[in-house]
Chain A
Amino acid sequence: DVKVTQSSRYLVKRTGEKVFLECVQDMDHENMFWYRQDPGLGLRLIYFSYDVKMKEKGDIPEGYSVSREKKERFSLILESASTNQTSMYLCASSPGQGYNSPLHFGNGTRLTVT
């Protein structure tokens, strides 16, 4: 079974802090994604990566950056955390570029910015 592991289940940070959310997958998937989940809005794509050291902006990249130095690890960075970034963050991975490849999700990191 594919395992996508997010390093923290809950995080509380202060406004202005630099925040790192880590995600690791163990199935050698090429593609990795970061979504945020908010009530009534579903999941919105922040950034994604189709290869090591490659990144592409999703639909809501403002205030975020990412890093993919190794194939199995995809980090989401909040350069200067703000209260409107309080949310559930979900990491996902998938193999290849196929349209029928489902995403495999981690259990999420619930971030609170105070």
Chain B
Amino acid sequence: AQSVTQLGSHVSVSEGALVLLRCNYSSSVPPYLFWYVQYPNQGLQLLLKYTTGATLVKGINGFEAEFKKSETSFHLTKPSAHMSDAAEYFCAVRMFSGGYNKLIFGAGTRLAVHP
């Protein structure tokens, strides 16, 4: 079965520290990968996406993610955390299933940023 695994339901970092949110996927075909962010009391908004081409993808708010096929990973990073980055982050993979393409989400990682 195709799936998405986010390692760590909660991550806490200091302001200014590196942010690393982990995502691994299982897919029998090259995937299309996404990271979404959800701020409190809001819907999800797209941070970045990988489709084809360059494996290092840059997104909004200084985030980036690297697609590593050999590791089936798509980890999200930011060099220096800001208080405003506190949110829940979801990794997702677009897969073809049951005759349609669907977006499958991981369970999410809640990022806390402390002073």
Contact = CB atoms under 8 A, between A and B. Distances in A.
Interface of A: 4, 33, 35, 40-45, 48, 50, 56, 58, 90, 92, 97, 99-100, 102-103, 105-108
A54 B105 CA distance: 23
B74 interface: no
Contact of B44 (A50, A97, A100, A105): A105
B49 A42 contact: no
B32 A100 contact: yes
Contacts of A106: 43
Contacts, number: 57
Given A56-B100, A103-B103, A43 B90 contact: yes
Tell me the interface secondary structure of chain B in the complex: strand
A42 B103 contact: no
Nearest to A56: B100
Nearest to A4: B43
B76 to A, nearest CB: 15
Contacts of A105: 36, 43-45
B28 interface: no
B34 interface: yes
Interface of B: 4, 6, 9, 32, 34, 36, 41-46, 49, 51, 90, 94, 96, 98, 100-108
Given A102-B49, A107-B41, A42 B107 contact: yes
B23 to A, nearest CB: 11
Contact of B101 (A40, A42, A58, A99): A99
A58 B102 contact: yes
A107 B100 contact: no
A48 B102 contact: yes
Contacts of A103: 44, 46, 103
Given A90-B44, A105-B43, 18 more contacts: A4-B43, A42-B6, A42-B90, A42-B106, A42-B108, A45-B103, A45-B104, A92-B43, A99-B94, A99-B96, A100-B32, A100-B94, A102-B49, A103-B44, A105-B45, A107-B43, A108-B42, A108-B43
